[in-house]
Structure 1
Amino acid sequence: MLPPGLLYEEQRLQALQRYDILDTPPESEYDDLVQLAARLCEVPMALISLVDRERQWFKANVGLPGVTETERCISFCTFAIEQEELLVVEDATKDARFASNPLVTGGPFIRFYAGAPIRTEEGFTLGTLCVIDLEPRALSEDQRRSLLALKRQVELLLRLRLQVKQTQERDRQLMESSGDAVFLLDEAGRVVESNPVAARLLGRDAPALLGTSFEELAPESEREPLRRALHTLRSRGTVRLEQGLWSAQGERVVLDIAATLQEVGSSRRLLVVGHDLTEKRRLEQQSIQNDRLASVGALAAGIAHEINNPIAYVLSNVSYLQGWLEELERSLAAVPGFPAHLADVLVEAKEVLSESLDGCTRIRDIVRDMRSFSHASDEALAPVDVNASLDFVLRMAWSELKRTATLEKDYAQELPAVFASESRLGQVFLNLIINAIQAMQSSASRRHILRVRTVREGEHVRIDVSDTGHGIAPEVLPHIFDPFFTTKPAGSGTGLGLSISHSLVRKMGGELRVRSAQGQGTTFSLLLPMGERTLESSSALVS
């Protein structure tokens, strides 16, 4: 355990360090006080001296130009900080404590010293406000009172400094722990500080943001409203707005901003707190898109129903005509001298009816598939025949596929069923096949191939959908499953298809992978578990 004297000294030094004032630049508030002290006490020198472990350092200095500190072991202030009030040395040459002090026997040849201890609210003495003369002298009572009054002003300045420091530290801790993006701007609108959330959202570290104009972080088209908002903030003290900012990756980040004007002494700061709305806006857009798709599905189901009834009549009548024509052909063949050219007409009529029947059957199948695909079926997981599901989707996409590429199917025989939602799995397959067709349509100068392959792989079934299109750039590949990410022209895609497909596959306990080579093509691979899964997976899909 430290002796009481040493224990107090360690606590005193810790108190001094809390003010974080040692070796700071001169400040006019302190300089004014030492000049006033020298004038009131009619001496050439005055100091605000802070006593460190091995030195005394001068926060303010008049009369000792170029001197910022001296060794503590020869300082008068070391004795002064042990006093309750003033330490007054009228003639240092006659005081046993200081007569041989090098500051007395040599330059600056101190003769008179008076020091008023500077104390913290806890009672620790940090240093002194002292006045010095090169001639022996005494202080009047008015001068004593003036020196003590001035030292109280020094104590007040130090308390204010500590409060500001504590406030800044508290603000910094709040910034660091905040879940929102926080920016501290100077009055001109340049970033002075930012927290980790701001750095993460914008993809830039704090040093990169330092000194950046806040307006320049916004897209060009959104800078004028931000400029007006900052002007309002400076004049009214508070402002609220929704603002987009560019990240380093070129993505627009939407923030709900609440900003306030902070005044610390003579300086003004703009505190900007932004709550990230990007995900909320994405979910809103996804909800709108889902509603739109649901409406389109309901419309498609209605149209399919309306087509289904008349096509049934047509199919029935064409089948009847086909049977009637066959019977007519048999009857006429038994008639003697039946003209040969009429026999040729009957053969041609049979071919026309056969083609009509095939076309009507195709329409019926398409309508049936549309109704099945758009039907809001039960989302529960159940065994699904992957090969049959792929054939179903390929029939739906055939009109687009046949004009773009040759279809190659390589289905594993006796492929086990997977445990999935049949309608959702069909949605994933259709999205992958349509994407593949579109990738090949953009490079239609050569004949393309769409390959669809199924194979058993351990306890999973793997489905590969491969195209020979333009491929995906390496820098784009990590983002293709991100919501709203698309490389298609504006209005040509929502950027939700692959994101939703990826989410659906994961909820069915599977995995969606991709590999691509630019100029050669892309392969998406689905791995789906075989056999029954737990009810937990089913509940996750429904949610």
Structure 2
Amino acid sequence: MQPAPMPQNEQDRLNTLYSYQILDTLPEKDFDDITILASEICQTPIASISIIDADRQWLKSKVGMLSQETPREITFCGHAINKADEILLVPNSEEDERFRDNPLVTGEPHVIFYAGVPLKAEDGNPLGTLCVIDTKPRQLSDSQLKSLKALANQVVTQLELRKKNRELALSRFSLQEINEELEKFAQVVAHDLKSPCNNIIGLSELLLHSNNNQLNHENQEIIRYVSDSAVQLKRLIDDILQYSRTLNFSPGVGEFTFDKLMLELKRMVQLPEQFELISNGPDSRISVSKAPLLQILLNLTTNAIRYNDKTHGLVTISFFEDKDKYHFSVADNGKGIAEDELERIFEPDYTTLKGTDRFNTLGHGIGLATVKRLVKKMGGEILISSNVGEGTTFHFTIAK
């Protein structure tokens, strides 16, 4: 018996093999189907997907063979991988000096005929073989050899797919860990920043009320400006935190009616005097995650109130559905948005309307950026139409 020589690049080959993490894994139907086809096409009682480790041959899939692994030094496949671009054909091992006294020939499973196609990885290194075996001398036809090569290519394709799926799963897990850490970090930073903001607001109010008679008008305005800036910073921190949460958001599924959704929204919205919030639409059942949908509607409704310059404000929420999507719109009769502003309205760094709201605080675009991200996460799109001086309408869809 002649043991197979080691490939010159054996360590490199083993590194490639181990990157697939295929050794000692459970049986998989995709591989078993290929082995069965190889046995049927070549009309052999034995077929296997053999992986050549450093000192053993391990079978990922097998037909008609009982041993899960064999010492590498006595394997036929160990010879086959030395010529990765060729099929190793042994018509009659009893007449081949390399194998005639091999224990796999003289004993079980009595390998007399052998045909092995090397399984060549993307980098060119052979991982093992797809082989067929018979207990009597024989030959394979050209069509059988061609089919065996095609099946070997399918084995490699399955190995590559399995490897890429594992890498993708690991990257998703790593990304999820990063997102979770970022969210925790954002929460800590938000808390640390909001505490001094609350102190500034409280101290400013205390200073104004305690020393109102001792402060001139200019000093009072400065203190109010400091307090208003702290309120704006606190709001910005809240919106940044809310935006960061959407990065790792995965919508679930709930069920509720449109009327109940509107009732809950109206409880959350603080309407100024002489403002009206009305809803139009059928009381249909809606099957989506309610929390992000409420967040979208709350952000849009709050903006419709904040940036409304009319004495009698009106916000209208409309709803209908079609076969694939739920359709919502939030319309107001406010100041409107100039056409050249519409393209940037959903960008996180956009300063809303380049001015103040009805409460005299500066706006920013993080709220609308959050809305767009949530809509996209829920399989929908959002559009905006506006006329300066007349009002703005946001229309968005949610996938069913």
Taking structure 2 as the reference length, what is the TM-score of the superposition? 0.48
* Structure possessing the higher relative contact order (Cα contacts under 8 Å, 6 or more residues apart): 2
- Computing the radius of gyration from Cα coordinates, the structure with the larger value is 1
